[in-house]
Structure 1
Amino acid sequence: MSDDEPDVNISGGADGGGSVAEFATDEADTRAEAVVDELGELYWRKAYGGQDAFECLVRTILSQNTSDVASQPAHDELMARFGPGGTAPDAGPDLAATLADAAQDEVAETISSAGLYNRKSETIVRLAGRVREEYGGAAGFDEFVTRKEPAAVRDALLEMNGVGPKTADCVLLFAGGRSGVFPVDTHVHRIARRLGIAPPDADHETVREWIEAAVPPEKCGFGHTAMIQFGREYCTAREPKCLDGPEACPLYDLCDRVGVDELAGEFVDPAETVE
């Protein structure tokens, strides 16, 4: 296991808050927990929390429909320009207040590496204004995210246009430090159904419900980030390593390989296996 989480990651890596932690892995009660335990051995185990909530919201919006490789530079450029001490003339200590008053075209230019930058810049500027209006700024929003009941925070985030379940859950996890939250992105959605720890035709929310019910709360955070890394290295969308044989995938013995035909060297989306 490595304690070094990549900086190019939805969590923000070493600079994204959280801390290395140990969790019991002696005997898993479910196969989903066994999968997460194995991922923890393969990658890292961390307890997340501590990110500024509004910056975390912005980071996650930038990651929508975009790889972390593309969204991380956009986040860094945005903070360098509009964050505290940034180069923008009106950059102040409150990121939400600064972005609420920023010109959308300037924000779009700054985050252009993230893709869909016109839509994302509109969302960021609009949500910055809402955070300033409803919570008094970034500090008030951070207090809301970290202190209010998780269900209430999630509901409030989902009421914001441009914020979906994954974005809301990432804010709860990486800023709020809430246990029992397992955000589902495209990697998690694909892997959980291939493994057979969620129904093959499950949508993102159903996958989340199945995993959160089967994995101990304290293991959900690192299970999410480690599963994403596993999806990049092993269980990819186009070339799952199991097609190279049992020895090629560290989760082979825990996986149902739903939709994968090893003999033919072919695979389909797990949903296509449902009659």
Structure 2
Amino acid sequence: MSDDEPAENISGGDAGGGQATVFETGQPATRAEAVVNRLGELYWQKTYGGRDAFESLVRTILSQNTSDTASQPAHDSLMERYGSGDLVASLAEADQQRLAETISSAGLYNQKSERIVTIAGRIREQYGSEAAFDEFVREGDADEVRDSLLAYNGVGPKTADCVLLFSGGQDGVFPVDTHVHRIARRIGLAPPDADHETVREHLERDVPGEKCGFGHTAMIQFGREYCSARKPACLDDPEACPMADLCDQVGVDTVGEVVDPSEAAD
């Protein structure tokens, strides 16, 4: 197990921070916990929290529908231009077209810049400052914080959950991105036809709260290294995957075909 989380994993890495932690594994109560324990052995065990809430929100919006290698430069450019003071105030007053040019590497930059300016304005109206919003995310009730974040146009469940995890440090929050959605259904931790929210409900129910954070970041890394969408490691050799004994291989035909788990259920 390594404590070194790759920076390109924008959900974690340098963006998410995190503190290396050792959890007792013992006998897992569920298969989902067994999977997360294995991921912890393969990659890292960490707790998260303490990142600036509004910056985390902006960072996750920039990462939507784009790669980390594209969104990271956009984040860096945004922070260089607007991050010297109160970021909420700076972006609430930002010229939308200038912001769009600043974050152009992230893709969908016109849409994202409009959303960021609008959300910054609403947060300033509701909380007054970046610091007050940060306090709300860190100290507020998790359900209330999540509902408040979801009320902003352009903030979906994954974005809200990333803010709760990486800023609020909330236990029991397992953000579901495309990697987690695919892997949880392929392994058999959620129904093959489950949507993102159903996958989240299954994982948060079956994984101990304190393990959800590194379960999320390590599962993303596992998806990149072993369980890709089109060519998972088990396709050619079932034993090549470190999760082979825990996986149902839903949608993976070892003679050479891979389909979405929902199609395999038909």
Q: In which range does the TM-score fall when normalised by the shorter chain? A: over 0.9
Within a 5 Å distance, the mapping from 1:161-176 to structure 2 comes to: 161-176=153-168
Match of 2:258 in 1: 267
1:178 to 164, 170, 182: 170
Counterpart check, 1:3 vs 2:16: no
Aligned partner of 1:217 among 198, 201, 209: 209
Shift of 1:246: 2.4
- Equivalences for 1:49-88 in 2 at 5 Å? 49-84=49-84
Q: What is the DSSP-based 3-state SS (H/G/I as helix, E as strand, rest coil) of the residue aligned with 2:24? A: coil
Structure 1 residue identity aligned to 2:16: G
1:130 has 2:127 as partner:
no
1:242 equivalent in structure 2:
234
- Corresponding position of 2:113: 121
Cα distance in 2 for residues equivalent to 1:222 and 1:271: 26
Contact 1:4–1:14 under 8 Å retained in 2: no
Report the CA distance between 1:73 and its aligned residue. 1.4
| Letter aligned with residue 6 of structure 1 | P
Aligned AA (1:69): T
AA partner of residue 113 (structure 2): S
Aligned-pair CA distance for 1:230: 0.7
State the TM-score, normalized to the length of structure 1. 0.94
Relative distance call for 1:251 and 1:13 in structure 2 (3 A) is same
- Partner amino acid, structure 1, of 2:187: L
Which of 194, 204, 207 is the matching residue for 2:196?
A: 204
Give the 4+ runs in structure 1 shifted more than 6 A: none
Which one-letter code corresponds to 1:267 in the other structure?
V
Using the TM superposition, give the Cα deviation of residue 194 of structure 1 relative to its aligned residue in structure 2, in angstroms.
0.3
RMSD of equivalent CA atoms: 1.0
Give the Cα separation in 2 of the matches to 1:24 and 1:246: 29
Relative to structure 1, is the Cα distance of residues 271 and 108 closer, same or farther in structure 2, using a 3 angstrom cutoff?
A: same
Superposition deviation, residue 14 in structure 1: 3.6
User: Which residue is 1:89 aligned to?
Assistant: none
Matched, 1:95 2:84: no
Amino acid of the residue matched to residue 122 of structure 1?
E
Note if contact 2:12-2:217 (Cα within 8 Å) is conserved in structure 1.
no
- Partner amino acid, structure 2, of 1:152: E
* Residue equivalent to 1:43: 43
Structure 1: gaps spanning 5 or more residues: 85-92
Which position in structure 2 is the counterpart of 1:21? 21
The equivalent of 2:99 in structure 1 is 107
The TM-score, its normalising length taken from structure 2, stands at 0.98
Give how far 1:18 is off: 2.2
Letter in 2 for 1:121: S
Post-superposition CA distance 1:173-230 (Å, at most 9, x none): 0000000000000000000000001000000000000010000000000000000111
How far 1:69 moved relative to its partner?
Answer: 1.7
Amino acid paired to 1:265: G
Structure 2 gap segments, 5+ residues each: none
Letter in 2 for 1:171: V
Superposed CA deviations along residues 50-109 of structure 1, whole A, max 9, x for unmatched, are: 00000000000011111112111111111111101xxxxxxxx20010011111111111
Instruction: Count matched residues.
Output: 266
Q: CA deviation at 1:27?
A: 1.6
Note if contact 2:50-2:166 (Cα within 8 Å) is conserved in structure 1.
yes
Q: Distance in 2 between matches of 1:10 and 1:54?
A: 15
